[in-house]
Every structure is written in structure tokens, then in C-alpha cells.
Amino acid sequence: MTELTPTQRRALRAAAHHLSPVVSIAQKGLAESVLKEIDRCLATHELIKVKLHGIERDDREALLGEICGQLGCAPIQHIGNILVLWREKPAEEAAATQPAPRTRRSSKPLTKKQAVAALERPRRKTTRT
């Protein structure tokens, strides 16, 4: 399990506030397929919410410890039936997902007159009969 400082945990809780749960765990509990889905979501998003259905409080705490132990993630928050989990992406993966830096334009920016002229269309000549 990853250990976080209270300041880091508070910042992650704030970042997770607007998130919706991406994984649900119901009566069948923590199956291998559920663990794989949580692992995939953590690899993609780093910070996720997990919704628990029909599981008692003591079982929820045990489930949180089991998930964090098996997947190497940090428990951020456990409120009611919602768990918030975080796992940092490896540095090489995070660098690969960064968008490429924007390149500079080779030409000078347009003046206002040039921009207006570019937008204007040639008008049709109308003849009156």
C-alpha cells in the first residue's frame, strides 16, 4: 500500500469530489474480474471511485484493505458505500500519455485588417432589370 501525507490525501479527496463511481461491487463480492477492472481503471485514471452495494460496514473496511493490498493502491476515502482509491502511474507511462507540445506558427500573426479581409467573401453583383 502507498502511504500518503494528510495534505496529499486532502488534495486527492478534493480532486475526487466530482468523479462518478467507475466500478460497482455487489453481492458476489470481490471477484477476480472486479479486481482486474479496478486495476485497469487505476492504470487509466489514477484516481477512481468504487461503489459498494449491499455490503456491511465491517466487510467494506476489510474489502478496502484487500483491494489496496492486492493492487498496491492507496485508500483515499471511505464514506458510506463509496471508496476512493489512488495509484500513481509509472513515470514512463505518464510521459507517454502527455500530449505533444504545440509547435510555433511559421508565419506572423494576422493584423485585424488582414483577418477581416480573409473573412469577407466576394459579393455577387446584382443587376436590376
Residue 32: count of CB within 10 angstroms of its CB? 7
Structural domain boundaries, residue 71:
6-92
Distance of CA 4 to the CA centre of its chain: 19
26 falls within a domain: yes
Confirm whether pTM is higher than 0.85. no
What's the pLDDT at 95? 61
Residue 121 buriedness (CB in 10 A; 0-12 / 13-18 / 19+): exposed
User: Taking the alpha carbons of 4, 10, 14, 16 in that order, is the dihedral positive or negative?
Assistant: positive
What's the pLDDT at 118? 74
71 falls within a domain: yes
pLDDT averaged over consecutive 10-residue blocks of the chain (129 residues)?
A: 86 94 90 94 94 90 93 93 92 64 69 80 69
22 falls within a domain: yes
32 falls within a domain: yes
What's the pLDDT at 37? 95
106 falls within a domain: no
Q: Are 29 and 54 in contact (CB under 8 A)?
A: no
Tally of structural domains, the chain:
1
Candidates 78, 20, 112; CA nearest to 120 is: 112
The bridge status of strand 23-25 relative to strand 47-52 is parallel
61: CB partners within 8 A, 6+ apart: 78
What's the pLDDT at 100? 65
102 falls within a domain: no
Candidates 70, 60, 2; CA nearest to 32 is: 70
- CATH code at 44? 3.30.110.60
